[in-house]
Structure 1
């Protein structure tokens, strides 16, 4: 007798109930879009927003903004969508055995049987090719920075096997777009993009530690490491450290860039102020064991990043 085939779930467990993929995508597309996490767009936002930070700060540094910067912003959006999808596909390929053993992830396309490993590799290749085409439009300097990020993307899924700090590796990769956008604009490399990248890494440690607390019991059972497991009940104190460090590094990145005038400087400083208030609000609401609250806090980081993007862009154009 042939074993029963896995029944495809109507929705991945941690996807928002009203996501566009589950509501509107053709049935044949859904497994592939779910594999790319298109049903959970927060990751795309968290990859995209640092790119826009880098672009806005580069425009401040050079004192110029042009039509090509609009294309850089759009290209970052398309690139974030397909490269986040590629990264998630690679993550699910490497983690398929772990995902099958965790309640929150066993409904993902590979462990649930919706997509084969071979199909996932083909889908990964298609997304990488699309990302490469977009990257080729941004100039050689940006291309070099973009290609350099692939090593970080490849390593991240394995980090939780050998370190308690896999969120650091995620931070390296998710904020690398700062360098790509900076280079695409043509700004000379200096302390500002490096400080902004470090700020983004601290932010990633903040929000992904919150996210990892959803899986802390399952991770302990299967031997997967995370900062959530490492910090446990001490997490609130560490979140305060990461949030404060992110704000201070962002402030330093902004201050080393000359502002176009008093208004531009005021707008640029509003970015870390608004960002800090949002992170403080999250910190106050953090509650270990409240999984619904944890995912809500994690997703709210899109708004935290948008605050920074808005004020830095206004400062660049002032």
Structure 2
């Protein structure tokens, strides 16, 4: 699956990719445009999709006080699924935004606007990734399979949200945190109030980190008429970020209590430490937020992998007591 490259920028690398990433260094040359299309050279998105899965599975195990070999597969399957569906979603996003990305400094080097991949081949690549993800999905319980199919709706809508609402980050949150519901269902074969509260916490977290991210493009977005919470909030962004931080931690804490209420006091206290630690990391980000420093904004955005991982050791300890 190769294209006649028109005039890709420089050597085909993408502007906001991690320098010397594994795709640019080790992947076969003919695969690089497709891996870049899937954002494999920028793994933070896969982490942000995967972490709610880990939260959902952890809280489901706390709530049921059990675990098994199928949870190991859920852990692995959700990781592979996050990589594949993030890739398929990003491919769909770039197909939808192909007439916009060329006008934005940060995105004009992406494979489609730079001419490395045709729209036709991008569609084929998206379908391949989606079918591979489907193979993983059908290995889960029926409820999780149904949730995985429903998840396609927000994924399909998200690329167009910035054209009709100032809150595209909300649509991203709806899509990116679906794994909290799916992983819970993969363990329990049902859904309930606890994963829904956790899901809402994840949406608030996405509003936090993606508003930070969107501040990199406010000038270009204003010129081409693309909407975002960064443009909507403007000078009030810091206040909104504080609100999203608070909602994230409070709802996450409520979900932990709901999942752990039948466990020992020590287990509950340890589990509550998860959202507490994550909240402090988000507070650290807020203290360093500078809307005029694009490099700093990207670093803060990427640091949310660490923020989202902080609850996991607390949940692991809580499961042991």
Contact 2:194 2:255 in 1 (8 A): yes
Q: 221, 244, 247: which is aligned to 1:245?
A: 247
Query: Whole-Å Cα distance in 2 between the matches of residues 143 and 309 of structure 1?
Result: 25
What residue in structure 2 maps to residue 113 of structure 1? 115
Q: 86, 89, 102: which is aligned to 2:88?
A: 86
Contact 1:22 1:30 in 2 (8 A): yes
What residue in structure 2 maps to residue 236 of structure 1? 238
Distance 1:57 1:187, change over 3 A: farther
Query: Whole-Å Cα distance in 2 between the matches of residues 300 and 308 of structure 1?
Result: 14
Query: Displacement of 1:47 after TM fit?
Result: 0.2
Query: Whole-Å Cα distance in 2 between the matches of residues 30 and 8 of structure 1?
Result: 14
What residue in structure 2 maps to residue 6 of structure 1? 7
Q: Runs (4+) of structure 1 moved beyond 3 Å?
A: none
Question: Structure 1 length as normaliser, TM-score?
Answer: 0.97
2:278 equivalent to 1:275:
yes
Query: Whole-Å Cα distance in 2 between the matches of residues 301 and 7 of structure 1?
Result: 31
Any idea what the Cα deviations from partners look like across 1:135-191, whole Å, max 9, x if unmatched? 011121110000000001000000000000000000000000111111110164221
The worse-fitting range, judged by mean Cα deviation, of 188-197 and 64-73 is 188-197
Query: Whole-Å Cα distance in 2 between the matches of residues 9 and 181 of structure 1?
Result: 41
CA RMSD of aligned residues (A): 1.2
What residue in structure 2 maps to residue 70 of structure 1? 72
What is the 5 A alignment of 1:238-317?
238-257=240-259, 258-317=261-320
Query: Whole-Å Cα distance in 1 between the matches of residues 204 and 97 of structure 2?
Result: 25
Query: Whole-Å Cα distance in 2 between the matches of residues 317 and 27 of structure 1?
Result: 46
Query: Displacement of 1:316 after TM fit?
Result: 2.7
Query: Displacement of 1:67 after TM fit?
Result: 1.1
What residue in structure 1 maps to residue 24 of structure 2? 22
2:171 equivalent to 1:178:
no
SS in 2 for 1:64: coil
Contact 1:61 1:187 in 2 (8 A): no
Query: Whole-Å Cα distance in 1 between the matches of residues 166 and 41 of structure 2?
Result: 28
Query: Whole-Å Cα distance in 1 between the matches of residues 318 and 268 of structure 2?
Result: 7
Structure 1 unmatched ranges of 5 or more: none
What residue in structure 2 maps to residue 59 of structure 1? 61
Query: Whole-Å Cα distance in 1 between the matches of residues 75 and 274 of structure 2?
Result: 18
SS in 1 for 2:8: coil
Report how many aligned residue pairs link the two structures. 315
Query: Whole-Å Cα distance in 2 between the matches of residues 34 and 291 of structure 1?
Result: 21
